[in-house]
């Protein structure tokens, strides 16, 4: 579905990602792990086209850029923004239209469907800035689902959530994956990554491990991250 070949990213001379090669297959639940500053977010951003890789290629197999959903890191979304949940979620559809288009009935239907799916239909008229952390994450996930047909990329979806909300989030993602959505998730939560993900990409600028999650436990890379207190 997505293939990265020898992708490197550097900012102003500082290299963040070095020579990363891996594939995302349809139906995958891929967890990207690694310490802070190991290039996880940079890699995701280069797949999404937000930053240009300095070398290497990202190719999509039958997937346009308007068909990928994205849940950014929480700190990158303004928290005090006057917008209703409905406005936020439907903005996931904006990229699908021409430059001067309005939303159609099918866009609205898609919003309703995703609000139901994430159990936040009753919040649609509420203001985004009045929501709790977990509700905000759900609203942003609903927005990502409005944009995505088959692939969502999540940058630390459970960071900052309490254990209850985090496990609800995992349940939602598991359900989506079961329904055929391919998931790529950056996570600091190793337990969650091993439990839910079918594949692991461990990064430290380069790829330390890439493969099935049950093979990951027992590798040197796994021990390294856990020994260093990688949660």
Partner 1 sequence: MSSLFDLLRELFSYGFVIRAMIVGLLVSLCAALLGVTLVLKRYSMIGDGLSHVGFGTLAVALSLNLAPLQLSIPVVLVAAFLLLRLSENSRIKGDAAIALISSSALAIGVVVISLTTGMNADVCNYMFGAILALSVSDVYLSVGVALVVLIMYVLSYNRIFAVTFDENFARATGMEASSYNMLIAALTAMVIVVGMRMMGAMLISSLIIFPALTSMRVFSSFKRVVICSGVLSVFCFFIGMVVSFGFSTPAGASVVLINLAAFCVFSAAGRAGLKV
Give the residue with the Cβ less far from partner 1, 66 or 217. Answer: 66
Q: In angstroms, what is the minimal distance from the CB of 48 to partner 1?
A: 4
Tokens 């939303």 identify what position? 103
Residue 151 is encoded by which pair of tokens? 């692939």
Give the residue with the Cβ less far from partner 1, 41 or 187. Answer: 41
Q: In angstroms, what is the minimal distance from the CB of 115 to partner 1?
A: 16
Distance CA 133, CA 140 (A): 11
Contact in structure between 133 and 161 (CB atoms under 8 Å):
yes
- CB within 8 A of 133, min separation 6: which ones? 74, 160, 161, 165
Give the residue with the Cβ less far from partner 1, 99 or 218. Answer: 99
Q: List residues near partner 1 by CB under 8 A.
A: 12, 45, 48-50, 64-66, 68-70, 72, 76-78, 81-84, 87-88, 90-92, 94-97, 99-103, 127, 129-130, 143-144, 147, 153
CA dihedral 222, 196, 74, 42 (to 10 degrees): 50
Q: In angstroms, what is the minimal distance from the CB of 198 to partner 1?
A: 24
Q: In angstroms, what is the minimal distance from the CB of 111 to partner 1?
A: 13
């Amino acid at each position: 579905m997505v293939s990265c070949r020898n992708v490197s990213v550097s900012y102003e001379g500082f290299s963040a990602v070095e020579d990363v090669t891996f594939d995302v297959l349809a139906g995958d639940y891929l967890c990207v792990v690694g310490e802070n500053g190991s290039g996880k977010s940079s890699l995701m951003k280069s797949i999404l086209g937000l930053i240009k890789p300095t070398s290497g290629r990202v190719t999509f197999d039958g997937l346009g850029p308007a068909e990928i959903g994205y849940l950014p890191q929480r700190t990158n979304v303004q928290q005090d923004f006057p917008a209703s949940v409905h406005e936020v979620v439907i903005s996931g559809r904006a990229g699908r239209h021409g430059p001067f288009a309005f939303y159609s009935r099918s866009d609205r239907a898609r919003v309703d469907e995703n609000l139901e799916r994430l159990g936040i239909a009753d919040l649609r008229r509420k203001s985004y800035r009045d929501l709790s952390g977990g509700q905000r994450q759900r609203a942003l996930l609903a927005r990502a689902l409005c944009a995505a047909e088959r692939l969502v990329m999540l940058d630390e979806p459970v960071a900052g959530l309490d254990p209850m909300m985090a496990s609800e989030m995992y349940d939602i993602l598991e359900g989506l994956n079961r329904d055929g959505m391919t998931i790529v998730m950056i996570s600091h939560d190793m337990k969650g990554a091993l439990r839910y993900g079918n594949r692991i990409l461990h990064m430290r600028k380069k790829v330390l491990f890439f493969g099935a999650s049950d093979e990951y436990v027992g590798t040197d890379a796994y021990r390294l991250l856990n020994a260093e207190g990688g949660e």
